[in-house]
Structure 1
Amino acid sequence: MNKVTVLGSLNVDTILRFKRFPKPGETLPLTGKSIAGGGKGANQAIAAARSGAQTTFIGKVGQDQEGTFMVHQLTDSGVDDRYVLHSDAANTGSAFILLDSSSENRILIDGGTNQQVTPTDVEAAKEAIVDSDFLIAQFETPLDAIVRGFEIARAAKKRTILNPAPATKAVPTDLLAVTDLIVPNETETETLTGVHVTDEYSMIKGAEKLQALGVENVIITVGSKGAFWMRGTDHGFVPAYKVHAVDTTAAGDTFIGALSAVLRADFSNLSEAVRLANRASSLAVQRLGAQPSIPTKAEIEAAERI
């Protein structure tokens, strides 16, 4: 069983459903509204735990009902919440997810306490990082905290996985220097490298540019098409499973969490881990909501037998 620590965000998601996105100045009725747990960090941690990893979370919530709700979302899925801090300086993070009838989404985020995670907070969780096989982070918490977490992991010879989302060009070189695996989607790849991802050739060029920035192992996810991987000079493309998607909100987070649960520390099974992560993601997109959609290990195994 892999041990995974996730440093990241916790958001309460408000999901607004409608037939189509309104035009400027237009008013349209909702077809549905729901509340669910979210945040890229929390999604990835829950996906890792439900996929069988022993998972710990590092993050921060407010002294509010939303914070209590988010901690319960973690613990109900078996995630260790010892390093989830409570702050009265801001509210728990929140997100508003706009979802049309074709399952296209647009997301607005209020970072709240996610933006208050500090390097000192990460230092306090050093024991969990050192005891893990993998440390995962995204860009919904401050970069200096992520850099410190990755430095601790690298010093302890633990593997680091960076999901550079939301996309930003200002990725510190000292963060990339301590990143073992980077997992952007096609948009994030273009932001980081300038390569417009359209086919396998451009995926190779994008991955090579990411390697030139200092990260040897790369996965580029391309939505319903699948995922491209590169390890050293080896590379390949793993097609996605064809399903009817109803909500793609947590698809990428499910992919990363499930990947971390089965990936070997030497990345020798990277291609197979990507395939299993694709399977988990394909189950998630068939359900509504971020965390409610994330499958369990038993569900993934059952789908593998079909």
Structure 2
Amino acid sequence: MSRELDVVVVGSLNVDLTAGVHRHPRQGETVRATALTTGPGGKGANQAVAAARLGARTALIGRVGADAHGQDLLAALGADGVETARTLRDESAATGTALINVAETGENSIVVAAGANAHVSPDDLAAARPLIDSARVVSVVLEVPVDAVCAAARAARDAGARLALNLSPVVDLPAEVLAAADPLIVNEHEAREVLQRNGVQLPGEEVGYAEALRQVGARSVVVTLGPRGAAVTEPGHAEHVPGAPADAVDTTGAGDAFAATVAWRVGQGDALAEAARWATRVAARSVQQPGAQPSYPKLADVVS
């Protein structure tokens, strides 16, 4: 079957309000911000932009509010070549908002108000079936309702597309959705939570986390390890992929860049470990610039 799109992302769009701080506040403490910026974000939009900048033909299924922030987010996606015909403007909710603190170490803390993202529905997925039917990979994030995630997984299965499931934040999903994940992408904290929820004893090493998650049900698994790279497993192969060197300025959105790159590369036929090697390079480039989408590299930046 001809596939006109490399990656269709089902996920969230947020406006990011980012405060730079010397350090994260302790409980009950107020700290002064060194800077405050506003920019495009949301795990879904981040993945769509990251993939598009690498040259992937990309579309995004999601919702924004009928407000100025929503208009700005759609314009930013369009500027990067992301197809937004099924990124809907919701008259009943504001655009999602993320409140982000970034410390001098580059580490962040994030609070998200879902807004219109909470209204993404199975009906939205049904209306977007032509996009999914034309996709090599459907990449799904968990900042939208679970019933929409389940609908996306079923639509990907019916279309013969590969499902990349970024289980962030961790929620309980039907076994059939987890079983369709190829790959399941989580960071090490999320990996621990999924294993604990499933009553699995935590393994002693990182590749073991990925193997245990595959035993829980996923077809293949990537566990991201920050600067240490990623643990990867698929049938017949398990590997630790080392991280790429980087002086981190801001880690916001690095995981989204990683997941988007994996989705793009497996859709191009790469083995999962090779896709993760690509992804570590892209993520390492992204943490060296402030912000999420503004930090994402183009393909020439990664291969040069």
- Supply the distance in 2 between the matched residues of 1:152 and 1:2 (Cα, whole angstroms): 15
Q: Which one is further off, 92-101 or 187-196?
A: 187-196
1:272 offset after TM fit, Å?
1.6
Contact 2:138 2:156 in 1 (8 A): yes
Q: Describe the shift of the 1:26–1:212 C-alpha distance in structure 2 as closer, same or farther (beyond 3 A).
A: closer
Contact 2:195 2:202 in 1 (8 A): no
Q: Describe the shift of the 1:256–1:86 C-alpha distance in structure 2 as closer, same or farther (beyond 3 A).
A: same
Aligned with 1:299 (options 289, 298, 301): 301
- Supply the distance in 2 between the matched residues of 1:123 and 1:150 (Cα, whole angstroms): 12
Tell whether 2:116 aligns with 1:113. Answer: yes
Identity %: 37
- Supply the distance in 2 between the matched residues of 1:28 and 1:226 (Cα, whole angstroms): 32
Q: Which one is further off, 147-156 or 279-288?
A: 147-156
Aligned with 2:241 (options 215, 238, 241): 238
- Supply the distance in 2 between the matched residues of 1:233 and 1:151 (Cα, whole angstroms): 26
- Supply the distance in 2 between the matched residues of 1:115 and 1:188 (Cα, whole angstroms): 21
Tell whether 2:184 aligns with 1:193. Answer: no
- Tell me the TM-score normalised to structure 2 length: 0.94
Q: What residue number does 1:167 align with?
A: 170
**Amino acid paired to 1:269:** A
- Supply the distance in 2 between the matched residues of 1:179 and 1:155 (Cα, whole angstroms): 14
Query: How many residue pairs align between the two structures?
Result: 298
1:233 offset after TM fit, Å?
2.8
- Supply the distance in 1 between the matched residues of 2:213 and 2:51 (Cα, whole angstroms): 25
1:255 offset after TM fit, Å?
0.7
1:50 offset after TM fit, Å?
0.6
Structure 1 gaps of 5+ residues are none
Q: What residue number does 2:45 align with?
A: 42
Q: Which one is further off, 59-68 or 174-183?
A: 174-183
Structure 2 gaps of 5+ residues are none
Q: Describe the shift of the 1:151–1:101 C-alpha distance in structure 2 as closer, same or farther (beyond 3 A).
A: same
Q: Describe the shift of the 1:102–1:46 C-alpha distance in structure 2 as closer, same or farther (beyond 3 A).
A: same
Q: Deviations over 1:97-128 (max 9, x none)?
A: 01111112100000000010000000100011
Aligned with 1:59 (options 59, 62, 66): 62
Q: Deviations over 1:32-79 (max 9, x none)?
A: 110110000100010111111100110001100010011011111110
- Supply the distance in 1 between the matched residues of 2:67 and 2:159 (Cα, whole angstroms): 35
Q: What residue number does 2:133 align with?
A: 130
Aligned with 1:145 (options 142, 148, 169): 148
1:152 offset after TM fit, Å?
1.2
Q: What residue number does 1:205 align with?
A: 208
**Amino acid paired to 2:193:** T
- Tell me the TM-score normalised to structure 1 length: 0.93
Contact 1:190 1:196 in 2 (8 A): no
